[in-house]
Amino acid sequence: MIIGLVVSIILFSTINVYYVTMPLIVRSLGILATFVGLAVALYEKKFKNPMKPLRDGLFASTIVAAVLMFVATWFIFGPEGATTNGNAAAAMALYGCMLSGLVAGLLIVIYTEVYTGSAARPVIQIAKRSQSGPALNVISGTAVGMQSTGLPIVTVAATLLVSFILGQSWASLSGLSGVSGGTFLGGVYGTTMAAMGMLSVAGLVLTMDGVGPIVDNAGGIAEMSGAPPEVRDRLDPLDALGNTTKALTKGYAMGSAALASLLLFQAFVLEVARYQAKLFDLTAITAGQASLLANELSSLGNQLALNHPSVVIGALVGA
């Protein structure tokens, strides 16, 4: 919302409600999509792997969220949308930002399952090497753990870059490139939409995170109550599922936090620009003050490059 407020003020010298509320609209659509995913996960009956209904529910939520976001973007930023300067190419560019975040979140979930699932090849290899002693167990586990961070980092970095470029394209196609700092702020707004896209299915991911503690408690009750061994045998696959979903949620949270890091830097630079421009109330701002704020942001962008995507991407890849 803060980024949307700044974009609308600088680019239009007034508060355009659609730029401010669009992140909230995307999150609201994500909640609706989450209900669809939960229904798919709850009513799927025929499966052998307990991860399958959860995975199918996540896929369903992602697809529904993508469709709803397209409809909302088209009717707000499209050629006959609510905004006066909308067009088809600009709407598709902004939708591409949201879609990149959705795809990134889904890929991080897939990467986590590939490396932590009970039937995953790395897990089986570590189990086999553990038969040769604790040394190989530690070495192989550490190696796989370090290797597993590569693809998520590349995915987040690529999403940052793609969403920023698409956001700049959206600003140019909307005729906002002539405003001081307009193209750069368009890129930041695109990154905001990517972060909202990734977080749109967070409800279902958090639901998957709750599987682990529930199964652990069920296993403890079964053991303390002296339940037959077959009960524990049925709970063991669910226990393994809980370990996978807990790791999945951690990876998802770290990926979304890394994607939002650019926005945190931008918020810091914005506060510095407001202080230098002596603007303390953004809700009552004139066209001259908006131009002054844009110039201060552009100047700080050249002096303090923390809010440039290349800095964040370099830090992620270099780490």
Contact criterion met (CB below 8 Å) for 283 and 130: no
Q: Note the pLDDT of residue 13.
A: 53
What are the residues whose beta carbons fall under 8 Å from the beta carbon of 315, sequence distance 6 or more?
none
Question: Could you give the CA distance from residue 282 to residue 287 in angstroms, rounded to a whole number?
Answer: 12
Average pLDDT, consecutive stretches of 10 residues, N- to C-terminus, the chain (319 residues): 60 64 86 90 80 86 93 85 76 91 90 81 84 84 85 89 89 70 77 87 84 81 80 78 80 81 74 71 66 68 67 77
**Which pLDDT score is estimated for 44?**
80
pLDDT for res 119: 76
Q: Which helix H or strand E contains 30, and what residues bound it?
A: helix 17-43
> Model pTM greater than 0.85?
no
The reported pLDDT for the residue numbered 233 is: 77
| Torsion angle of the four alpha carbons 170, 171, 174, 178, in this order, in degrees rounded to the nearest 10 | -160
Residue corresponding to tokens 């897990």: 123
Structure tokens, 77: 């930023």
Domain positions in the chain are 2-213+243-318
Q: How far apart are CA 153 and CA 10, in angstroms?
A: 33
Give the alpha-carbon dihedral of 52, 216, 201, 67, to 10 degrees. Answer: 20
Residue 300, pLDDT score: 65
Look up residue 259 and give its two tokens.
Answer: 């994607």
